[in-house]
Structure 1
């Protein structure tokens, strides 16, 4: 498994333009939203979901959207999805909760995890993600993200993902 520094080196070697900013550690979307960053772009929520058939999905959505996991399961032709444990996250992708992003798929050499991005992000030109470590954020253009993900064998699929209805 590679870490933050190796990932940043890999991005540079692949000539993927990005900006990186160090900051205090954040462990959830509320803490991330409170960060004052000089980087511009869409802050994204990243979830590792699994089904009983062994399917694994890294789902990326908007920062404030609460996904309807049952509806997402139907969209992805899965019977039932649940959140992967912190241990499973670390064993599969080498990251701890709060550090997950599509960039962690660089550690999924078996290509077990499918990358799914919410159509609500389709209009965004720049995305903000943690580079395997929640003490930094990097900005990547949508095109550069897609190109890098294809390069590592994890081309994203884009889907309309439903939000949970307010109670």
Structure 2
């Protein structure tokens, strides 16, 4: 368990929030994670870390959708935008690619924004800082734990990468 994973579980216990903790084989993609959890991919929270001209930013969207980097660039008012490298991800969050949980703006010192695609879900599922453990909780409980602005950065097409 990573430090961020422990912080998330401690926060859920402190706030007395019910959740499901699922141990599974390593899952690097949202598709793999959802299959191993036995839940629809759409309830997954896909956390993507970007580096803009203003710094690092996490965008969280429904896992069955792709991110539209043009929309992100426009939303952030940033002419420069790229995905964070594996090294930057590890240095900032202490996790590997695929394990970044949707908890910036507090538990992680990373600016975070939520895509409106999450509004369609009653639950959210995510890897809890490692590729072998997931957490599932009610969306309303998740939203009570975080403070982040809403954005519209998801692409209209589904994420079909496997």
Determine the structure 2 residue equivalent to 1:142: 139
Determine the structure 1 residue equivalent to 2:100: 100
Instruction: Confirm whether residue 160 of structure 1 aligns to residue 152 of structure 2.
Output: yes
Q: If the length of structure 2 is used for normalisation, what is the TM-score?
A: 0.82
Determine the structure 1 residue equivalent to 2:118: 121
Determine the structure 2 residue equivalent to 1:63: 63
Determine the structure 1 residue equivalent to 2:30: 29
Stretch of structure 1 that moved more, 33-42 or 80-89: 33-42
Moved over 4 A (4+): 38-41, 104-107
Stretch of structure 1 that moved more, 117-126 or 99-108: 99-108
Q: If the length of structure 1 is used for normalisation, what is the TM-score?
A: 0.80
Q: Is the 8 A contact 2:22 2:37 kept in 1?
A: no
Deviation at 1:3, TM superposition (A): 4.3
Report SS of the residue matched to 2:74.
Answer: helix
Deviation at 1:24, TM superposition (A): 0.7
Determine the structure 1 residue equivalent to 2:48: 47
Deviation at 1:76, TM superposition (A): 2.1
Deviation at 1:42, TM superposition (A): 0.3
Gaps of 5+ in 2: none
Q: CA RMSD in A?
A: 2.6
- Name the structure where strand makes up a greater proportion of residues: 2
Q: Is the 8 A contact 1:101 1:129 kept in 2?
A: yes
Question: How many positions carry a matched residue from both structures?
Answer: 157
Determine the structure 2 residue equivalent to 1:20: 21
